[in-house]
Amino acid sequence: MSISPARRVADSLLDSVLEQHRALEEALDGIPASIEPRDKAAGHRIAATVLRRLGSLDAVMEPFLRRQPPAPALRALRIGAAELLLLGTPPHAAVSAAVSIVPRPLAGLVNAVLRRVAEHGAAALEELDAERLDTPNWLWASWHAAHGSAVRAIAAAHRNEAPLDLSLKPGATPPEGATLLPTGTARMPAGTRITELPGFAAGELWAQDAAAALPARLLAVKPGELVADLCAAPGGKTAQLAAAGARVVAVEREASRMPRLRENMARLKLMPDLVNADVIGWKPVALFDAILLDAPCTATGTIRRHPDVPYLKRSKDVAVLAAQQRNLLVAACKLLKPGGRIVFATCSLQAEEGEAHLAHLPEGMRLDPIRDEELPGIGATAAGTMRTRPDMGMDGFFAMRLVRA
């Protein structure tokens, strides 16, 4: 039996995420160049579907399994079940393709279980509480505590692939077919290839979720202001600030992320100063008029785009990252001129990485409340901060704006 290249890619990606705890994008970059682009893309789509619906798929198959199968068989079963129940693959093709990627001693098990899934799985899937099953327990509990009844809508939003959101240079024309959101983001349908859009090669646009574009807007830089973008890679926010006419210093700690930052700025024909340094301990030549700090976090607000996040992060990571964020914020605020402003943001749905920071403002800083009109179609929170969620049609972000006395 010939092995399906796309399913082999899916199998490799799932092994990387679920067994080796590697990021899906990192694993995708490691797929051999000999694999056809269409097979690589198809394998990625299958793996992402499995990750989005892992709990539901396992629940459907559970009645047909006497015990937990070996890891290679379990991956093949999940791939086959996803194709049968969610991707519309014809039963014969889905079953035979899944069987082709397991060692011969496991082929009978995979074949038998998937035939049962093909016969009974669709009805069983309809009866499941998919939102709850597809969300790890610790995330569900934390989101319920932070967002109340919205937890179910958040989980439901994670079941669907996100659209392609674009930020445009001032004066650039949105691509044909784009929907212009109230916040200024141009939205294309999910699956759109950005490299095929006319404005991409011309350096007129870049991919950036609608929520991710808001912190830079809230900083409201003026032409000529000296502005720092801290934790800058891959550069979407740097591009926003530079395109608005600010003199931008983009700081990134990870040397491995600098090439992509440089490449993106070169394509966009923007020339910020790029600095490879750790914000904590960094000594710039001059203090800044404004700073944007999009701090490292658990990234639980980006699950629509990164369905591997629930399987790479753990509850214990939240407190560690929140402490790092407080340290970064303290260090960043020391780089501001008197009267200077900073927007602190995280792409997290965890309250510890967002709202909880209001209780620990750095010395000499005060909250500059965000106004409803600054977030058209969204509005500010009662506390004067920004909170977006996936059920609003964008990534989950928190942002607050502070001013130095």
**Catalytic residue numbers?**
347
**Cβ(402)–Cβ(369) below 8 Å:** no
Give me the torsion for CA of 69, 75, 79, 81, rounded to 10°: 20
Q: Where are the alpha helices (DSSP H) in 30-129?
A: 37-52, 54-61, 71-85, 91-100, 104-126
Q: Can you give 61-75 as a three-state secondary structure string?
A: HHHHCCCCCCHHHHH
Placement of tokens 């059920």 in the chain: 391
Q: Cis before residue 70, ω within 30 degrees of 0?
A: no
DSSP per-residue codes, 196-264: GSHHHHTT-EEE--TTTTHHHHHH---TT-EEEEES-TT-HHHHHHHHTT-EEEEEES-GGGHHHHHHH
322: its two tokens = 């929140």
**Cβ(105)–Cβ(73) below 8 Å:** no
d(CA 73, CA 336): 56
* CA 228 to chain CA centroid, nearest Å: 23
d(CA 309, CA 306): 6
d(CA 346, CA 259): 23
- Radius of gyration of the CA atoms of the chain, in A: 23
Q: Where are the alpha helices (DSSP H) in 244-356?
A: 258-267, 309-312, 315-333
Q: Nearest to residue 365, comparing CAs of 326, 325, 403?
A: 403
Q: Where are the alpha helices (DSSP H) in 127-210?
A: 130-133, 137-147, 150-157, 198-201
71: its two tokens = 């890891």
Placement of tokens 């705890």 in the chain: 21
Angle between helices 54-61 and 104-126 (to 10 degrees): 100
